[in-house]
Amino acid sequence: MDKLKKFVNKYTPVIMLLPALIGVLIIQIYPSLDSIRLSFTDKSLLNPITSYVGFDNYIKALSDPQTWQTILNTLVFAVLSLALGAVFAMLVANELNKKFRGRTFFRAMFLAPWVTPPLVTSAIWQLLLSETFSPINGLLMQLGWIDKPINFLGNTEPILGFLSMPLISIIIINVWSIFPFLMVMFLAGMQTIPAEMIEAATVDGANSVQRFFKITLPCLMPVIETSILLEGIWQFNNFNISYLVTKGGPLNSTMVMAVDVYTEAFINFNYGSGATISVLMMLIILFPAVVYLKKQLRQTDNI
Amino acid sequence: MNKRSRRILNGIRHWAVMIFTTIFVLFPFYWMVLTSLKPREELMASPPVWIPSFLDFNNYKLVWEQMPLLRYLGNSLFVSLMTTIVCLVLATFCGYSISRFVIRKPQKITTVMMILSQLIPGTLPFISFYFIMYNAGLTNTYQGLVIAYSVWAIPFCTLMMKSYFSQSVPIALEESATLDGCSKFGIFFRIAIPISVPGLVATSIFAFIQGWNEFMWASVMLSNNDMKPASVGIYDFIGQYGANSNISMSMTAAVMITLPAIIFFAFLQKYLISGLSAGAVKG
Amino acid sequence: MKNSKKILSALLAVSMLSTFAACGQDDKPANDGSGSAGGDTGDLSGKTITFTMQKYGNDASAQDKVLKEMTEAFKEETGITVNYSIIDWGQALTKLTLACTGGEAPDVADAYFTSSFVTIGQGKYGPADVTNVFEELGGEDAYFEAAIDEVKIDGKIYGIPWRMDTRAMIYNKAHFEEAGITEVPTTYDELIEVAKKLTKTDANGNITRSGAVLPVGDARFDQGWFSFLAGHGTSVMNEDYTEFTFGGQEGIDAIQFMLDLINVHKVCTANVIDPSFNSSTEYQAEKASIVLGANADFMTALEANAPQLVDVTGSAVMPSLTGEGPSSVVFSAPICIMNSTKERAAAEEWLKYFCSKEGQIKFCSSVNLINSRKDVMEDEFYSSDFMKTYPEQAERAIYGDPAIPTWSQIDAFPNGPLNTMLTNIVGGADIQTEVDNCLKQVQEIYDKGEVDLG
């Protein structure tokens, strides 16, 4: 019995790791590796014979200008959603971390977009942004600020070359649905900062802005890094908003890579070229992931 | 004077943020509720009606009769709670192990794996994964849902718990406990866990909502109507021709499915705050 | 502290157990794989089959109710239990695809894209040959031709056609009266003339009420275009599906006609390209007087969203170039027996029961669907003022989905070549360039499919 105890204590770190690691390997890593393999084949459900075609799928995808447009859309969508969402979430979390009347109420209320099923989110925002039924347009017209309804989801004129009204619209919808998640993560991080540190800074005469940048932000860094990286990856892979609100349209102005993969695989039954786009997505997102990993693993060496 | 004006400025900023966020967050919900309560003649008016001539609660009665709301919510609650428990237990162990024993190889490999698992978009692995679950006889079972959801949430929860542990739990405290003869598991339960309660709550909210909102896997994997969670059940009202074909019923169903979740989290919020004070006392 | 440890480990244990306990309990009952077709029903008593169906109708509980009644009556009659489940449209395609590639499959399924699924299943999974059942149910004479096209591959029938979807013209009688219009337009010229009278604009020239809107939702133009192709006397492909014919002069005219409604005659709002635009809701908001193609379920949505318009809404056969001949398309979908079934005989019994005239009248009238069986469409349910247009329109319609395995790719939404071409053109691109480009792409997809099959 004592031996067992010793054994358990010695291998505790590994015992703690294993269940999660095994689950992730079987359920996530293995299927992902399988996708990479598929990207070198011409697998199509309509064709019983599958053969390896080398880099053909990649050459085909990258020589199509539409792929590049989609990559650009995806990056713009992910980066802007994340940047706006994170700054907004930080701002709100910082205010919610103060003591004031009704704090519980606000905290609960701001979570609401997060627990709204994606299907509902898209249905309600479609209504809010449709040219005909939009209450926003209705209000602005009644106030006389505009004389023609704004075409939030239908105006395809480019703005600054890489943006368009529909893309901006789906980014705003996305910020609405992702900021509560970041807010909760930041808030939880802020609450684990020892109160003495903040008090000490206050005594030293730091104002609230200085306190935020000198104490809160640095202390939050581990939490910020992790949640931003993962949220960034998820937004890069985000499928729901574009697919459910605009189906990638109009004129592909909101087409993102995840929707492309979905249509290739599940509608066109071309698993090979769907997998190719998946791998391209992985290669792009690998860059920030490696930077994060390097930092994480180096940090760990220092301890 | 300076101090006072600064305080006023802070107050203004505070309430400006609160008010703006409230409008941004609540307006879609306001419109959702309004649409569900408008008399049908005013639904499609253009420009839209802001204040309906009367409130029509009949939709709620109809949806209640047509949709097994309690069963949907019960299914969702069960699956999400199980997901939260399984995921949190595994992720907390794993995250703690990484945060304390980082220099070792297994921990490093695990960190890399956790990140890698997030990189490939879920659409394609979905198919291989489906067949793994099908061959294991887990399609059409709650277990199939819980396993999928918890493992999908594990990488994030692990890395997040690791961050919270390395941010908030002083290693010195643990070392003194080791000297007191505590086992590693003992230190984990007695020192690390209590201090990290806010982080624990935050990640559990994540795991819970992930299970609550997911609809693609549930919809593909389940074929038994009695097991449907709410996120799939909402399709009952969106149907073949989209939400537009019966907008007031879609919105009513949406309100009835979303509201319980919001209320549930209102209660959890209190716990988040009490978790904070507990942590603060010890820290 | 000790407590929290205990609780946690207990929870861990419980969750582990409940997670893995089910691995063994899901063993399916072993069936004697009697694949014999037909046979008398006596020995089928006690069998159980599974049946999946997509979601239909606007009332969430209607379909469940009618299926419950029908399966109970069927059990009474034959002793066969039918476990049905209703699938939402969001993942229906994925579910069917998985069922056809060896995933969990029902014994009997409500399918579409029949030809694709037969190809995907490779004779092992997917829809099975049910020519015998089809003959027993009345054969080719009992069904509309476009419906048979959907299920017939190399002379074999792979499913029993049931629901049908054709698009008729919807118009607002009050608007007609107000504009002094007494006759429903039957030709395109009449349509334009009428629509001009119905259209209203504000001081800036913006359209506030469209005389006639294109049938668009989610910025999807293909299905409306098929109708205009038919109205111009052509179609996407030729009769035997060997050649694409939409690039001919009539095809170009059909596209030009759609554009002219927006740009030249200014009777349809240019906002059709907005993904949130929907011609039905435009009509419900009285921002459109005529919808150029809507399905038979239109009325249910109208009752739900704008009941004040129910009494002033009429339906009519779609106009065409000459006022005669085809002016719309029909889509049809079959109920299939899956190759993977172990209860073929029981499945056949259910198929015969559900797809019989009586079965189809009962089901389709509950969820407001029109039907592929001619004798079903003669039922009095389809004789109401609004509904009676639909059987007429079905007689004057061509197929909507050519029965080729690659059709789902060619007509893929949102990004298939046809939809891309139409969206680009409506967005302002040159018609001829887009059509040529599209022809090249569809031919490529088509050829690939042909080679693979051979």
For A198-246, what is each residue's pLDDT tens digit?
Answer: 778 777 777 778 888 888 888 888 888 888 988 999 999 998 899 888 8
N residues, chain C: 454
- What CA–CA distance (Å, rounded) separates C283 from C170? 9
Q: What is the pLDDT at residue B270?
A: 65
Q: Which residues in chain A are contacts of B218 at CB distance < 8 A?
A: none
Q: What is the pLDDT at residue A294?
A: 86
Which residues in chain A (208-227) have CB-CB distances under 8 A to chain B? 208, 219-220, 222-223, 225-227
pLDDT at B161 over 80: yes
Q: Which of these ranges, B243-252, C167-176, C205-214, has the smallest mean pLDDT?
A: B243-252
**What is the average per-residue pLDDT within B242-255?**
80
Q: What is the pLDDT at residue B174?
A: 75
In this complex, the chains that touch C, judged by 3 or more CB pairs closer than 8 A, are A, B
Beta pairing partners, C169: C316
Residue A86, Cβ density class (10 Å: 0-12 exposed, 13-18 middle, ≥19 buried): buried
With cut-offs at 50, 70 and 90, classify the pLDDT of residue A80.
very high
**What is the average per-residue pLDDT within C90-94?**
85
In b/e form, how buried is each residue of B152-180, taking b as 16+ CB within 10 angstroms? Answer: bbbbbbbbbbbbbbbbbbeeeebeebeee
Q: What is the pLDDT at residue A213?
A: 86
pLDDT at B90 over 80: yes
Which residues in chain B (197-226) have CB-CB distances under 8 A to chain A? 198-199, 201-202, 205-206, 209, 212-213, 215
Identify the residue with better confidence: A270 or C187.
Answer: C187
pLDDT at B262 over 50: yes
With cut-offs at 50, 70 and 90, classify the pLDDT of residue C36.
very low
CA distance to partner chain B, nearest, from residue A189 (Å): 7
Q: What is the pLDDT at residue B243?
A: 62
With cut-offs at 50, 70 and 90, classify the pLDDT of residue B263.
confident
The separation between the first and the last C-alpha atoms of chain B, rounded to the nearest angstrom, is 35
Beta pairing partners, C161: C334
Where a domain ends, among B12, B30, B56? B56
* CB B52, CB B34: distance < 8 Å: yes
Q: Given the DSSP bridges, would you call strands C156-157 and C200-201 parallel, antiparallel or unpaired?
A: unpaired
Question: Which candidate, C115, C112, C152, C329, places its Cα nearest to that of C236?
Answer: C329
Question: Which of A154, A246, A268 faces C412 most closely, judged by CB atoms?
Answer: A268
Q: Which residues in chain C are contacts of B141 at CB distance < 8 A?
A: 22, 26
Highest mean pLDDT among A53-62, A142-151, B124-133: A53-62
B84/B125 same-domain check: yes
Q: What is the pLDDT at residue C452?
A: 46
Judge: A115–B261 Cβ closer than 8 Å, yes or no: yes
Question: Which of C19, C64, C89 faces B86 most closely, judged by CB atoms?
Answer: C19
Q: What is the pLDDT at residue C58?
A: 67
C17 CB within 8 Å of a chain B CB: no
CA distance to partner chain C, nearest, from residue B16 (Å): 32
Tell me how many domains chain A contains.
1
B171/B42 same-domain check: no
B26/B88 same-domain check: no
Q: Is residue B41 domain-resident? A: yes
CA distance to partner chain B, nearest, from residue A254 (Å): 18
> What share of chain A has pLDDT > 90, as a percent?
27
Q: Is residue B282 domain-resident? A: no
Domain of B110, in residue numbers: 62-277
Q: What is the pLDDT at residue A299?
A: 61
Q: Is residue A272 domain-resident? A: no
Judge: A176–B24 Cβ closer than 8 Å, yes or no: yes
**Cα angle at A123 between A257 and B252, to 5 degrees?**
150
Kind and range of the H or E run holding A190: helix A165-191
Average model confidence (pLDDT) across chain C: 86
Write the CATH number for B112.
1.10.3720.10
- What CA–CA distance (Å, rounded) separates A2 from A16? 20
Average model confidence (pLDDT) across chain B: 83
Q: Which residues in chain A are contacts of B235 at CB distance < 8 A?
A: 119
The neighbour count for residue C318, using CB atoms within 10 Å, is 28
- What CA–CA distance (Å, rounded) separates B168 from A182? 19
A267 CB within 8 Å of a chain C CB: yes
Identify the residue with better confidence: A46 or B268.
Answer: A46
In b/e form, how buried is each residue of A150-181, taking b as 16+ CB within 10 angstroms? Answer: bbbbbbbeeeeeeebbbbbbbbbbbbbbbbbb
Q: Is residue A8 domain-resident? A: no
Q: Is residue A73 domain-resident? A: yes
B15/B43 same-domain check: yes
Q: Which residues in chain B are contacts of A259 at CB distance < 8 A?
A: none
Q: Is residue B256 domain-resident? A: yes
pLDDT at B274 over 60: no
- What CA–CA distance (Å, rounded) separates C349 from C37? 10
> What share of chain A has pLDDT > 70, as a percent?
98
With cut-offs at 50, 70 and 90, classify the pLDDT of residue B20.
very high
Q: Is residue B28 domain-resident? A: yes
Q: What is the pLDDT at residue B239?
A: 59
Q: Is residue A274 domain-resident? A: no
B51/B72 same-domain check: no
Angle between helices B69-100 and B105-119 (to 10 degrees): 140
pLDDT at A267 over 50: yes
B113/B11 same-domain check: no
pLDDT at C339 over 90: yes
- What CA–CA distance (Å, rounded) separates C269 from C208? 8
Q: Give the largest Cα separation in chain C, rounded.
A: 87
B79/B105 same-domain check: yes
B26/B86 same-domain check: no
* SS3 state of residue A257: helix
Domain of A192, in residue numbers: 68-253
Q: Could you tell me if residue C368 is left (phi over 0), alpha (psi between -120 and 50 degrees) or otherwise beta?
A: left
Where a domain ends, among B56, B85, B101? B56
Task: Tell me the backbone φ, ψ of residue C399, rounded to 5 degrees.
Answer: -60, 150
Q: Which residues in chain B are contacts of A289 at CB distance < 8 A?
A: 115-116, 118-119
pLDDT at B140 over 70: yes
Q: Is residue A283 domain-resident? A: no
- What CA–CA distance (Å, rounded) separates A111 from B25? 9
Judge: A151–C274 Cβ closer than 8 Å, yes or no: yes
- What CA–CA distance (Å, rounded) separates A226 from C406? 44
CA distance to partner chain B, nearest, from residue A216 (Å): 12
pLDDT at C39 over 70: no
Residues 6+ apart with CB under 8 A from C344: C34, C35, C36, C37, C128, C337
B26/B89 same-domain check: no
- What CA–CA distance (Å, rounded) separates B12 from B20? 12
**DSSP conformation class of A266:** I
Tokens standing for C116?
């694709």
Q: Which residues in chain B are contacts of A6 at CB distance < 8 A?
A: none
CA distance to partner chain A, nearest, from residue C86 (Å): 18
Where a domain ends, among B38, B56, B74? B56
B183/B233 same-domain check: yes
Q: What is the pLDDT at residue B282?
A: 35
B7/B75 same-domain check: no
Q: What is the pLDDT at residue B176?
A: 77
Task: Tell me the backbone φ, ψ of residue C217, rounded to 5 degrees.
Answer: -150, 145
Q: Is residue A17 domain-resident? A: no
**What is the average per-residue pLDDT within B55-71?**
89
pLDDT at A115 over 90: no
Q: Is residue A180 domain-resident? A: yes
**Unique residue bearing structure tokens 């006023």:** B8
- With CA atoms as reference, the chain B residue closest to C21 would be B143
Task: Tell me the backbone φ, ψ of residue C354, rounded to 5 degrees.
Answer: -70, -35
Residue C203, Cβ density class (10 Å: 0-12 exposed, 13-18 middle, ≥19 buried): exposed
Q: What is the pLDDT at residue C106?
A: 94
- What CA–CA distance (Å, rounded) separates C328 from C394? 8
Q: What is the per-residue DSSP string for C400-423?
A: SS-S-TTHHHHT-TTTSHHHHHHH
Tokens standing for C98?
């998985």
CA distance to partner chain C, nearest, from residue A128 (Å): 10
**What is the average per-residue pLDDT within B195-202?**
80
For C235-259, what is each residue's pLDDT tens digit?
Answer: 999 888 889 999 999 999 999 999 9
Residues 6+ apart with CB under 8 A from A65: none
Q: Is residue A45 domain-resident? A: no
Separation in Å, CA C290 to CA A29, C46, C129, C299: 54, 53, 42, 14
Q: Which of these ranges, A293-302, B216-225, C196-205, has the smallest mean pLDDT?
A: A293-302
Q: What is the per-residue DSSP string for chain B?
A: -HHHHHHHHHHHHHHHHHHHHHHHHHHHHHHHHHHHHS-GGGTT-SSPPSS-SS--THHHHHHHHHS-HHHHHHHHHHHHHHHHHHHHHHHHHHHHHHHHSTTSHHHHHHHHHHHHHHHS-TTTHHHHHHHHHHHTT-TTSHHHHHHHHHHHHHHHHHHHHHHHHHHHS-HHHHHHHHHTT--HHHHIIIIIHHHTHHHHHHHHHHHHHHHHH--HHHHHH---GGG--HHHHTHHHHTTT-GGGGHHHHHHHHHHHHHHHHHHHHHHHHHHHHHHHHHHHH-
Question: Which candidate, C331, C340, C339, places its Cα nearest to that of C158?
Answer: C339
Q: Full-prediction pTM beyond 0.80?
A: yes
With cut-offs at 50, 70 and 90, classify the pLDDT of residue C105.
very high
Cis peptide before A250 (omega within 30 of 0): yes
**What is the average per-residue pLDDT within A115-125?**
88
Tell me how many domains chain B contains.
2
Write the CATH number for A159.
1.10.3720.10
pLDDT at B277 over 80: no
- What CA–CA distance (Å, rounded) separates C163 from C364? 8
- What CA–CA distance (Å, rounded) separates C15 from B147? 10
Q: Which of these ranges, A67-76, B160-169, C280-289, has the smallest mean pLDDT?
A: B160-169
For C349-406, what is each residue's pLDDT tens digit?
Answer: 999 999 999 999 999 988 888 899 999 999 988 888 899 999 899 889 988 888 888 8
**What is the average per-residue pLDDT within C302-331?**
92
- With CA atoms as reference, the chain B residue closest to A137 would be B47
Task: Tell me the backbone φ, ψ of residue A50, rounded to 5 degrees.
Answer: -115, 130
Q: What is the per-residue DSSP string for C191-220?
A: HHHHHHHH-EE-TTS-EEEEEEE---BTTB
Residues 6+ apart with CB under 8 A from C146: C164, C329, C330, C332, C394, C397, C398, C399, C400
Q: Is residue B283 domain-resident? A: no
Judge: B247–C21 Cβ closer than 8 Å, yes or no: no
Judge: B100–A13 Cβ closer than 8 Å, yes or no: yes
Q: Is residue B11 domain-resident? A: yes
- With CA atoms as reference, the chain C residue closest to A261 would be C415
